[in-house]
Amino acid sequence: MRIGIVTASLVATLTLAACDHSKTELGTPTPGGARAVAMLHTADGTDVGRATATEVSGGLRITVDANAMPPGMHGAHIHMTGRCDAPDFASAGGHWNPTGMKHGAMNPQGPHEGDLPNLVIGTDGRGTIGVTVPGATMAGLLDADGSALVVHAKPDDLMTDPSGNSGGRVACGVFGTS
Ligand SMILES: [Cu+2]
Q: How far is the CA of 118 from the centre of ligand 1 (A)?
A: 10
CA of 101 to the centre of ligand 1 (A): 15
| Tens digits of residue pLDDT in 92-117 | 999 999 999 999 999 999 999 999 99
Task: Give DSSP secondary structure letters for 48-63.
Answer: EEEEEEEEETTEEEEE
Residue 7: band (very low, low, confident or very high) from pLDDT cuts 50, 70, 90: very low
**What is the number of other CB atoms lying within 10 angstroms of the CB of residue 108?**
7
pLDDT exceeds 60 at position 23? no
> 91 with 58: CB under 8 angstroms?
no
Quickly list DSSP for 79-115.
ESS----TTT-GGG-SB--TT-PPS-TTSTT---TTB
Cα gap 122→138, rounded to integer Å: 30
pLDDT digits (tens, 9 = 90+) for 51-66: 999 999 999 999 999 9
User: Could you tell me the distance, in angstroms and rounded to a whole number, from the CA of residue 92 to the centre of ligand 1?
Assistant: 9
Please report the pLDDT score of residue 38 as a whole number.
98
Q: What's the 106 CA to ligand 1 centre distance in angstroms? A: 16
pLDDT at 84: 98
- What is the Å distance from ligand 1's center to 148 Cα? 9
* Phi, psi at 81, each rounded to 5°: -125, 135
> Who's near 124: CB < 8 A, 6+ residues apart?
none
Rounded to whole angstroms, how far apart are CA atoms 142 and 82? 8
* Angstrom distance (rounded) from CA 6 to CA 35: 33
Q: Where are the beta strands (DSSP E) in the chain?
A: 35-41, 47-56, 59-66, 72-74, 76-79, 119-121, 127-134, 148-152, 169-174, 176-177
How close is the Cα of 87 to the center of ligand 1, in Å? 15
> How far does residue 141's CA lie from ligand 1's centre (Å)?
15
Ligand 1 center to 53 CA (angstroms): 16
Angstrom distance (rounded) from CA 170 to CA 82: 16
Q: Express each pLDDT in 112-168 by its tens digit.
A: 999 999 999 999 999 999 999 999 999 999 999 999 999 999 999 999 999 999 999
pLDDT tens for 145-154 read: 999 999 999 9
Q: Provide the pLDDT for residue 25.
A: 85
